[in-house]
Copies of this chain bind each other. A is one copy, B any other.
């Protein structure tokens, strides 16, 4: 898996998208408990649903959905759907790869 630096940089060049990534570093600290009304308990792995992120970002749902998509296409986030909700979480591997890339290749 290689780093698309332009794509990633574009994804990071927006205050709100940057905040989303940082907020997801501490999901319990930054968002209400997730998992809502799911009947079967699933492992959300620290994922947070779009509406929780939207509430914190204070932007329209469509904008936040777009931002999350941008971050995911850049590889920085992972998403998983459970019922009505899509849970987004950090892709730590890619974030560390990015740090390594900048340290050694940039």
Contacts and interface: CB of A to CB of B under 8 A. Distances in A.
Interface residues of A, number: 21
Nearest to A95: B106
B10 A6 contact: no
Interface string A1-30: 000011001101111001001100100000
Contact of A102 (B6, B14, B25, B95): B95
Contacts of A99: 99-100, 102-103, 106
A64 interface: no
A66 interface: no
Nearest to A96: B103
A15 B6 contact: yes
A98 interface: yes
Contacts of A106: 18, 21-22, 25, 95, 99
